[in-house]
Homo-oligomer: A and B are copies of this chain.
Amino acid sequence: MNAPIPAHTLPPEDLPKDLPKTVTTGPVTGSVKAYAAPRERPDLRVPYREIALTDPGEAPVRVYDPSGPYTETDARIDLSAGLPEIRAGWLAARGYGAVAPRAVKPEDNGFVAEDRLVAPCPATRTVRRGAPGQLVTQYEFARAGIVTEEMIYVAHRENLCREAMLAQAEGKIADGESFGAAIPPFITPEFVRDEVARGRAIIPANINHTEVEPMAIGRNFLVKINANIGNSAVTSSAAEEVEKMVWAIRWGADTVMDLSTGRNIHNIRGWILRNAPVPIGTVPIYQALEKVGGDPLKLDWEVFKDTLIEQAEQGVDYFTIHAGVRLAHVPLTARRVTGIVSRGGSIMARWCLAGHRESFLYERFEEICDICRAYDVSFSLGDGLRPGSIADANDAAQFAELETLGELTKVAWGKGCQVMIEGPGHVPMHKIKVNMDKQLAECGEAPFYTLGPLTTDVAPGYDHITSGIGAAMIGWFGTAMLCYVTPKEHLGLPNRDDVKTGVVTYKIAAHAADLAKGHPAAQIRDDALSRARFDFRWEDQFNLSLDPDTARAYHDETLPKDAHKVAHFCSMCGPKFCSMKITQDLRADVLAMEAASAVVGEATSLDEAARAAGMAQKSAEFLGEGGRLYVDAG
């Protein structure tokens, strides 16, 4: 996928100077990080974020939280020690052998000079590798009918105490169109197992990433989002690189792809993984290309295989592998408006064409599977031929590759691996759904993971929006994870604000998709915020929003005083023209009329009758008019 932060090829003077020196910690404004355990496993600590509301009649709202321990109230973070190894015990019980890690080679860090080397993360971990015949991947366990700790964790995490929320919503049935997805009202560990066994969901969790908080990607779970990060040329501390990940997950990124290239990438990846509570994805061909001096024609299986093992031992949770770019597909791109826009795709196309040979990724795919299986690295089968413009959407090259990815999905499943499929890109609205339908059909419902898609090419500088539109739609249609796009896409390197804007925009797309799919309880948060809005509970409105700080800051630009936080109006209309204020008065009148009807014998509930009891005067007035609900207009 694209939109990384790296810029190792740029002279330092061209780079932004505001890189952070520490990582961001502390709660998201207006909420508390908390943990809960499922009944069957009281030892698990499953994270969520809880937003307490100022109205005592309103239950706190629980929201999904990928931000890790960084948002705890008294977060104590020691990057050198790494995060707690929450999976160590589970994995130990599965009996994988500790292996001597592959020795780090100079090319792993891009042949960096000794004086510019970023020291490796001191948090050393046991390196595990599954043996042939052992169950290793979540897919293998699921196929064997076994529920893992990861599955129990995921089930509880996705439910977000949904029982309580559904009760609060008075048993409201999910209202949506899910296009054939089968979202249950309640997620059980067995449901997670079955979805993984069918290949419809993955739990990216390398057995060497003991720090990861398990999560699921699949269309019967909440729609997830990914943010991309990458190293910069002026890295002076590992904290700067870890901070990019911490900042992205703070705002809601569910996974992070490290698209670094150049110097120090092995060691920086180590710092990131040891401190990452979310799955980390990479594109190994990038590092492999660096190792051969940047010339695609010098790539070969040996250097690629060595890179896979290097990264798998470090704990990378999913690999983008562009094995669908076959020699026969390359000529299909020749007359495109924007050719091949995937870096991995263009590298492999060049490799294939230069030697008139089939892709080694395709030919060695079973061997790649064997490596991935041994560590439970999930596949993210790359769409190297995705369209890079509206003009190229849904063309022969794109769909030929997708068919190949379908073929490879079955190979990977046969080898016991977890698989998701990457998708476009740039697609006008009327061509989006066929992408989803074809992906489901070709790839046996393996999770789809799309970049946007951008729905028009005319707005560089606003491509988080052009793509947010497409992302919301394809998420609704069934895409399981959306790769974010920042406002700087196609133009430059995203800074902190851009990353936040990209993540929040994609949280909007994912949530809008969950709502439209009828995901149970997705509407709980919308409704809580809407009630807060109607009641003029400004603090609750801010705190329930995806970005409380910005909501509050915007409000305070025109109404900064504390008194305005409880004011029964806002700056848009002022108190006199406030429709909500008028409506509140109105509501009392209407309910009084209804209650009056109840008094005169049309009560439909005790509740209405009770209201009626308190509204004697209104009722009397009303009854004085003959008890008719409507009277003739004068």
Bound form: Cα–Cα A574–B231 in Å:
13
The reply to whether the CB of A350 lies closer than 8 angstroms to some CB of chain B is yes
Chain B residues, Cβ within 8 Å of A561: 14
Bound form: Cα–Cα A529–B8 in Å:
27
- Number of identical protomers: 2
The reply to whether the CB of A571 lies closer than 8 angstroms to some CB of chain B is yes
Most buried by B among A261, A391, A461, A468: A461
A390–B526 touching, CB < 8 Å: yes
The reply to whether the CB of A428 lies closer than 8 angstroms to some CB of chain B is yes
B516–A455 touching, CB < 8 Å: yes
Chain B residues, Cβ within 8 Å of A557: 16, 488, 492-493, 495
Using CB atoms, name the residue of chain B closest to A464.
Answer: B465
A331–B590 touching, CB < 8 Å: yes
B551–A461 touching, CB < 8 Å: yes
- Interface size bracket, A side: 35 or more
Chain B residues, Cβ within 8 Å of A490: 533, 541, 570, 572
Using CB atoms, name the residue of chain B closest to A495.
Answer: B557
Bound form: Cα–Cα A590–B328 in Å:
11
The reply to whether the CB of A466 lies closer than 8 angstroms to some CB of chain B is yes
- Residues of A whose CB lies within 8 Å of any CB of B are 2-4, 6-10, 14-16, 176-177, 261, 286, 289, 294, 296, 327-328, 330-331, 333-334, 337-343, 345-347, 349-350, 352-359, 363, 388-392, 428-430, 455-462, 464-466, 468-469, 472-473, 476, 487-488, 490-493, 495, 504-505, 507-509, 511-513, 515-518, 523, 525-527, 529-531, 533-534, 541-542, 544-547, 550-551, 553-561, 569-580, 582-587, 589-591, 593-594, 625, 629-634
- List 28 A–B pairs whose Cβ atoms lie within 8 Å, in order of A's numbering: A4-B572, A4-B573, A14-B558, A16-B558, A176-B430, A334-B587, A343-B573, A347-B582, A353-B589, A357-B634, A358-B633, A390-B515, A391-B523, A429-B476, A429-B515, A430-B516, A456-B511, A457-B529, A459-B508, A462-B546, A462-B547, A465-B508, A468-B469, A473-B473, A488-B557, A492-B555, A492-B558, A495-B557
